[in-house]
Amino acid sequence: MGARSLRSWLTLQRVAAAVAIWVVGSLIGVGVFTLIYGKAYSYLGSDPVTCTNCHVMNKQYDGWTKGSHHNVATCNDCHTPHDSIVHKYWVKADDGVRHGFKFATNTYPENIQIRDTNLKIANDACLYCHSDFTSSIHQTVPEGEQLSCVHCHRDVGHK
Amino acid sequence: ERKNEARAPKQQVVALDETTVDPAVWGKNYPAQYESYMKTKEMVPGPGLFDTMSPETRTPTADDPRTQIMPQRNDEDPRITHMWAGYAFSKDYRHPRGHYYMLEDQRLTKRVQDFKQPGTCLNCHASMPTIYSKLGNGDQQAGFDKVNSMTYAEATKYAEHPVSCIDCHDPKTMKLRVTRPAFIRGIKALKASQGVTNFDPNTDATHNEMRTFVCAQCHVEYYFKGEGKTLTFPWDEGIDIDDIYSYYQKEGFTDWTHGETGAPMLKAQHPEFDIWSNGIHAENGVTCADCHMPYQSQGAQKVSDHNLTTPLKTVNASCMTCHHASDDEMIKRVEKIQGRFVHSRDQAFDALVQLIADIKAERDAHGDTADVKRAWEYQRKASFYLDYVYSENSHGFHAPDYTQRILNDVTDACRKGQLALKGVSDEQMQPSENTLADDKKVAQTRG
Amino acid sequence: ERKNEARAPKQQVVALDETTVDPAVWGKNYPAQYESYMKTKEMVPGPGLFDTMSPETRTPTADDPRTQIMPQRNDEDPRITHMWAGYAFSKDYRHPRGHYYMLEDQRLTKRVQDFKQPGTCLNCHASMPTIYSKLGNGDQQAGFDKVNSMTYAEATKYAEHPVSCIDCHDPKTMKLRVTRPAFIRGIKALKASQGVTNFDPNTDATHNEMRTFVCAQCHVEYYFKGEGKTLTFPWDEGIDIDDIYSYYQKEGFTDWTHGETGAPMLKAQHPEFDIWSNGIHAENGVTCADCHMPYQSQGAQKVSDHNLTTPLKTVNASCMTCHHASDDEMIKRVEKIQGRFVHSRDQAFDALVQLIADIKAERDAHGDTADVKRAWEYQRKASFYLDYVYSENSHGFHAPDYTQRILNDVTDACRKGQLALKGVSDEQMQPSENTLADDKKVAQTRG
Ligand SMILES: [Ca+2]
Ligand SMILES: [Ca+2]
């Protein structure tokens, strides 16, 4: 967050909320609070409806139901790693606690933007399903780099 | 639970009707909107490099109780005093402070204090529906004509509030509506020029169009037509600047006679809607409200931010619904467009000031010669075109390449005017055959 | 694991190495790409209003076997003969026909037939890696220097193919690569001006950058530096046109002396990369290949369309993964931008032609006076700036408002030149204090 956006982020309301949470958190533990109040445990499931336990996910959920992948991929197919079960649950826990905390404290932006690490996970997911179709176009890509599917297909998951 | 709040119907605390002009009353039913509406009082600067919000403190006087005021643009940029020489604007012209101040700022500007203005001014600076009703005995159009024919001093006595809820919302249904006869006539003429006849925005516009039209009641170029001083938007031939200029030429309209050169002049004012109409966002149906009234979540509710100001204070909410970039990156993009605009604008502006100086010198030496009169035509056009993009408040952002194209017309006209004074004939400065042939193609790409 | 399969090599029918220059051989391994590559032969017009693909049939002659050829731009627009008077371009200049013809068109243009050209020309009109190898004994840089120092007649004997697979792909890995020493030096200098030192595109560029860089080897403004006629890209100070002009001024470089006015001139050529770099697509990482080489499904595979031409023939694949509009609507948007460009370009071009006529008249009457010399400076700058956007082939699309801003500089400079000839002093045409102050802000928005 740049200095500019920080200025607009720091409204009185948010500062007050953050302080309040800090007080509550130090009493009963931010983790537990987040997990319960913020329903961060939802991250552990795989039913898309559990994601909408937080209304902030409604927009993406609505998009997904209209999107081309509605019948072929659920949230976790795109937003959690396919490489190992440990990595998968690590990401779920990381996202769950992070987002749960932000949800509970109302400190997320109006338009949520995917983080680079999670974008990479989504891109890996594209390749997990489509690598046959895209193997040809991938041969010109240097080792260690990936074609960004989302550069062109930003909408597949959500429109 | 919070999730469900989203769809909960509004509970009505007070009943609203066509006489409820006080926004505080509406605020009882819609506290979130009212709260943000009242924030236009705050005068918070935005983060952009070309931001204009820089209020100065002043000691209140008997006839001007303001403690804060925006700096004089005539001091900021003395070129203005030449561009508008002999006109009220050259005496007092400031950046806007915010909707909260629209009535106060109008009443206290030297343009009103030191000059006689018609009631027409009021149309865009106050909540009008109840005034129209009162003066027209229930007939809005009659009330509008009445306001226009009064003096400002008279008319403003009826005004109680700046633009208020009732100006944009139907008190029964909360639906968006337009309340200004000038806009209703103007948009009908514009649509007719595009082949859509008998357009009435309050019944025929899409909801999305209304999200722009409510602003387009005021954020437009206008003039006072005829003896009735009727507020009029010059859109009958279309909304490209060439259409507008052609309209004024046919109308034979003149705002004032230039103080330094004697040329018959046109003044352009805040054509935000007009320029937006020629931009890529309009083409994509992106409305004023999308950027200037972004949704803000209040708990599980989405509320339109009624704090009308630069969207650069709310880039995430205003832009990231459609764009994907960091806040800083997005602001940089706006600044880059604005930087290019400022560069070309300054180049054109310097040319205009030099043209004015040349005409003045020529007149002083030889009077209103034929060449001086030819130069007037160049000045009239150049000044209107420059003013049009200068008085538009986005620094070129609302339609970057369209704005730049207008500036090319300005630079060319100014310099041609100077050459005319040196005796170069119009024939020697005519467009070439190629240009005339290309013009036909270009015309196909417009509108 | 599946992710890695992505890079599984295609089955190789023939072995490719650094000596395989014939694209037909590569085509055995990559038939789909080869097939589309060969389509640049077809000369199909695009749907745009300003499309330039209109080949004429001609009767082949002994020294020019072409049966189809593009129309002469000097006939289309005689203003060119004035802009480039005294230079080879005023004798023969056509719209491009397609990659398939690049070598043939170069060999047969009057610019080569009637004028002595250096081998340098060849760098962008033929498949070069094997030629550099041969002439440099395996050292590409040495081969490049050698080509530049030869005559064109000599150098072209080595050329067998227009740009071929080997120019953009590593034959072992198929990875994208750049093979032109001029680009490698140029981009290193450009990145250095942006604070990135020792940049080597073949090792340091992202894959996405390479999707532009392969084109930027040729679609750029260039000049022949020094005695060695070294092909050089003028990017040391940056890639805004002001940086480029400043570079040439410091370099004291001149392409030719103007035939009608005697001014020391600069020629600009096809700065597609240069202008794209200043546009919103570049800012969003949208590459040349994204639009000009869209993916096409071929059975169970995706392939990049190697038929390089206007993307308006493939709007759906080229634009609609990112934009949402009908094909017609998308084409209209492009035309609208191009229409505005053509309008301002013509206005500026007429001004330039009038300036040239004025200088000529003044010289004929009074010789190379001090005022004529001042006018030269305006002509030199105006002509280069106009040429820069005129010779760019997208009609302003690659960066609409940037291109327009350049045209404002042109119009201003032309008209100032004319005024200079009327005895107006430079002081009288100086930028104002406000402009100078704003310039500092504007500078912050660049780069
Ligand atoms: Ca006006
Ligand atoms: Ca050049």
Q: What is the pLDDT of residues C94-131, one digit of tens each?
A: 999 999 999 999 999 999 999 999 999 999 999 999 99
Q: Which residues of chain B have pLDDT under 50?
A: 1-9
The ligand whose atoms approach the alpha carbon of B267 most closely is 1
* B317 closest CB neighbour out of A55, A111, A154: A111
CB C103 within 8 A of CB C167: no
pLDDT at position A67: 87
Query: For chain A, how many helices (H) and strands (E)?
Result: 9, 0
As given in the structure block, the two tokens for residue C111 are 């610019």
- Write the burial class of residue C396 (CB in 10 Å: 0-12 exposed, 13-18 middle, 19+ buried): buried
The residue that leads in pLDDT, A34 or C178, is C178
Q: What is the pLDDT of residue C4?
A: 39
* Residue A139 reports pLDDT greater than 90: no
Selecting from C325, C346, C402 the residue whose C-beta is nearest the C-beta of B340 gives C402
pLDDT tens track for C122-143 = 999 999 999 999 999 999 999 9
Report the pLDDT value the prediction gives residue A37, as an integer from 0 to 100. Answer: 54
C-alpha distance from B309 to closest chain C C-alpha (Å): 22
Contact B432/C at CB under 8 A = yes
Residue B262 near residue B273 (C-beta atoms within 8 A)? no
Instruction: Say how far apart CA A94 and CA B418 lie, in whole Å.
Output: 69
Cα B10 to Cα B7: distance, rounded to the nearest angstrom: 9
Q: How confident is the model at residue A16 (pLDDT cuts 50, 70, 90)?
A: low
Please tell me the total number of residues recorded for chain B in this structure.
447
Contacts of C155 (CB under 8 A, 6+ apart): C118, C119, C121, C122, C147
Average pLDDT rounded to a whole number, residues C323-341 = 97
Task: Check CB contact of B15 with chain A, cutoff 8 Å.
Answer: no
Query: C210: CA distance to ligand 2 center in Å?
Result: 24
Tell me how far the alpha carbon of residue C223 lies from the centroid of ligand 2, in angstroms.
Answer: 5
Contacts of A136 in chain C (CB under 8 A): 10, 301-303
Using N-to-C axis directions, what is the helix angle for A30-37 and A85-105, rounded to 10°?
90
The per-residue DSSP string of B283-310 comes to HTT--HHHHHS-EEEETTEEEE----S-
Nearest listed ligand to the Cα of residue C271: 2
Are B438 and C346 in contact (CB < 8 Å)?
yes
Note whether A14 contacts B: Cβ–Cβ < 8 A.
no
**Around Cβ C174, how many Cβ atoms within 10 Å?**
22
Can you tell me the mean pLDDT for C199-210?
Answer: 97
Name the minimum distance, in Å, from the CA of A94 to any CA of chain B: 22
Using CB atoms, list chains with 3+ pairs below 8 Å to chain B. A, C
Strand residue runs (E) in B185-265: 223-225, 230-232, 256-257, 264-265
The answer to whether residues B12 and B22 touch, using CB atoms and an 8 Å cutoff, is: no
Say what percent of chain C tops pLDDT 90: 96
C73 by Cβ neighbours in 10 Å (0-12 / 13-18 / 19+) ranks as: middle
Q: Separation of C134 CA from ligand 2 center, angstroms?
A: 28
pTM confidence score: 0.95
pLDDT at A21 over 70: no
**Is B73 an 8 Å CB contact of chain C?**
no
Ligand at shortest distance from the CA of B234: 1
Ligand minimally distant from the alpha carbon of residue B266: 1
Planar angle of CA B33, B35, B36, nearest 5 degrees: 70
Report CB contact under 8 Å: B343, C416: no
C6, C176, C285: residue with CB nearest A138: C6
**How far apart are the CA of C222 and the centre of ligand 2, in A?**
4
Asked if B123 and B88 touch (Cβ cutoff 8 Å), the reply is: no
pLDDT at residue C34 is higher than 90: yes
Q: Is pLDDT above 60 for A8? A: no
> C394: which chain B residues are within 8 Å (Cβ-Cβ)?
none
Q: How far is CA C314 from CA A150, C289, C310, C321, C336, in A?
A: 20, 13, 8, 12, 18
What is residue C100's three-state secondary structure? Answer: helix
pLDDT at A28 over 90: no
The mean of the pLDDT values for chain C is 95
Question: Which residues, 6+ apart, have CB-to-CB distance to B148 below 8 Å?
Answer: B118, B119, B120, B123, B224, B228, B229, B230, B231
Task: Quickly state the pLDDT bin for A53 (edges 50, 70, 90).
Answer: confident
Q: b/e string for C274-303 if b means 16 or more Cβ within 10 A?
A: bbbbbbbbbeeebbbbbbbbbbbeeeebbb
Rounded-to-integer distance, Cα B385 and Cα C38, Å: 50
pLDDT of residue A83: 86
| CA B175 – CA B182 distance, rounded (Å) | 20
Give residue B16's pLDDT: 96
Contact call for residues B269 and B388 (beta carbons, < 8 A) = no
User: Chain A: residue nearest C323 by CA?
Assistant: A152
- According to DSSP, residue B171 is labeled T
Q: Is B356 helix (H, G, I), strand (E, B) or coil?
A: helix
Put simply, whether A85 touches C (Cβ < 8 Å) is no
Q: Are C27 and C35 in contact (CB under 8 A)?
A: yes
| Spatial separation of the C-alpha atoms in residues C422 and C369, rounded to whole Å | 12
Q: How far apart are the CA of B324 and the centre of ligand 2, in A?
A: 37
The lowest-confidence range among A132-136, C330-334, C398-402 is: A132-136
* C78 in contact with B, Cβ within 8 Å: yes
Widest distance between CA atoms in chain B: 82
Residue with tokens 């933007």: A113
Band of pLDDT at residue A36, cut at 50, 70 and 90: low
Nearest by Cα to C417 from C348, C350, C345, C358: C358
Whole-number pLDDT of residue C10:
61
Model ipTM?
A: 0.93
List, for residues C367-410, the tens digit of each pLDDT value.
999 999 999 999 999 999 999 999 999 999 999 999 999 999 99
Nearest to B95 by CA among B105, B86, B85, B81: B105
Angle formed at CA C284 by CA C282 and CA C286, multiple of 5 degrees: 60
Expressed in angstroms, the distance from the first to the final Cα of chain B is: 50
Phi, psi angles (nearest 5°) of residue C301: -130, 155
CA–centroid distance, residue C232 to ligand 2 (Å): 9
Collect all residues of chain A within an 8 Å Cβ-Cβ radius of residue C176.
140
C54: Cβ contacts below 8 Å, ≥ 6 apart: C45, C70, C71, C95
Say whether pLDDT at C1 is over 70.
no
* CB contact at 8 A, C293 and C304: yes
Give contacts of B314 with chain A, Cβ < 8 Å: 8, 110
| DSSP run (H or E) holding C412 | helix C400-421
For residue C3, report the phi and psi dihedrals to the nearest 5 degrees.
Answer: -55, -35
Quote the tokens at residue B71: 């700096």
Distance CA A130, CA A135 (A): 8
Chain B contact present for C328, CB below 8 A: no
- For testing contact with chain C, the best of B346, B349, B430 (most C CBs within 10 A): B346
